[in-house]
Amino acid sequence: MQYEHVLVRYAELSLKGKNRKKFERQLDQNIREALSEYPAVKTTRSFGRLYVLLNGTAYEDVREKLKHVFGIHSFSPAMKVDFDVDAMCEAAYTLTKEALEQRNGAGTFKINVRRINKGFPHGSAELNYTLGSYVLARMEKLTVDVKKPDVEIKVEIRSEAVFVTGQTEKGAGGLPVGTSGNVLLMLSGGIDSPVAGYLALKRGVTLEAIHFHSPPYTNAQAKKKVEDLARKLTKYAGTVKVHFVPFTELQLAIHKQIPDNCEITVTRRFMLRIAEQFAKQNGNKALVNGESLGQVASQTLDSMVAINDVTTMPVLRPLVTMDKQETIEIAREIDTYATSILPFEDCCTIFLPADPKTRPKLEKIRYYESFMNVEELVNETVAKIETVEIREREEEEFTSLL
């Protein structure tokens, strides 16, 4: 069937009270951007629903885009009919027949009418019976199952029209990207940080990323891997800016000055300082990382205390209570896992000591750093950051120097 409408149901933004219109406008904008390669497609809104007008565009193409838009609870291809019971009956029959076509019309069904437009003269219970009886009379192999039907025909009688649907796609949930502020993701080449970025996006943030690389200890393939991971996130985020930090000189200075078993802690502290300074210049309101409590030496509670000591900016850790398998499952769902496990190491694996401190003493860490010109090293490194804007299609990418 060639559908002309898609009915979009909101996720938790429907609970937003007086701010609801702001969230709805942002979701509308995000959907239009996600569907921008289909110029014929338009959107309209009414209270509690958003409609995608396909204007000849294939529903299957639009469906693949809508699945990745945060703020959508579910969506359905819909038939729009007049305020006419006969038209509703015919639409319910058409959609039931289509849903059971592969089974030669055999199966169970249910009619579910919602009468949002209270001015319509027929009640929901009456319409459930009328539409159900009509469909049953035309399909001999069909029976009713109100608890677990093969097909549920939903009829929404709204002020602007009646919409009849026979299938429902689960949306991405969460809040529309752009409603919760701008954050800076500390993106490595591993499994965790892309998942952290995805989960932060689900809470409505606009996302940029910062990556530390140390050529020649890290190679061009490692940098390309990070760009590819950022590109995976564009499905959910739109365009993603990645800020590349040349970290070699600073990392060598740390390696020269700091005892081996404290080197990871100090390296992380410098990364956080650089990320915070850049974020403040760039207008980001928080940092995001992929830390999970207890996963590695730098992610014990004592290490987090010692590392977090250098920043006053909020650090969001969406994975903090997850185990590795849970993170891997999400990585597979969002298609970042295969890229993350490619064997191109990032700077965090350079100069890795055999016995890193899992309970670093903050006073000792501060003492070791007192022999380094921290402010000058951070300022010099931030000044050399290079930005690449990653878009969904690789050929549109461009680079600029700050």
How do beta strands 72-81 and 162-165 pair? Answer: antiparallel
In which element (H, E) is residue 182 found?
strand 182-186
Residue 347's region, left for phi above 0, alpha for psi from -120 to 50, else beta, is alpha
The annotation status of 181 as a binding-site residue, yes or no, is no
- For 123: left if phi > 0, alpha if psi spans -120 to 50, otherwise beta; the answer is beta
Alpha helices in 108-202 (DSSP H): 124-138, 192-202
Q: Which residues contact 341 (CB under 8 A, 6 or more apart)?
A: 191
Residue type, 104: N
268 is in an annotated binding site: yes
290 a known binding residue? yes
**Residue 299 annotated as lining a ligand binding site:** yes
Q: Which residue has the tokens 């399909």?
A: 139
Q: Which long-range contacts (CB under 8 A, 24 or more apart) does 13-21 make?
A: 13/71, 13/175, 13/176, 13/179, 14/48
| Residue 178 annotated in ligand binding | no
Residue 186, annotated ligand binder? yes
Q: Half-sphere exposure (CA, 13 Å, Cβ side) for 63?
A: 13
Binding-site positions read: 186-187, 211-212, 268, 290, 299
Binding-site positions for ATP read: 186-187, 211-212, 268, 290, 299
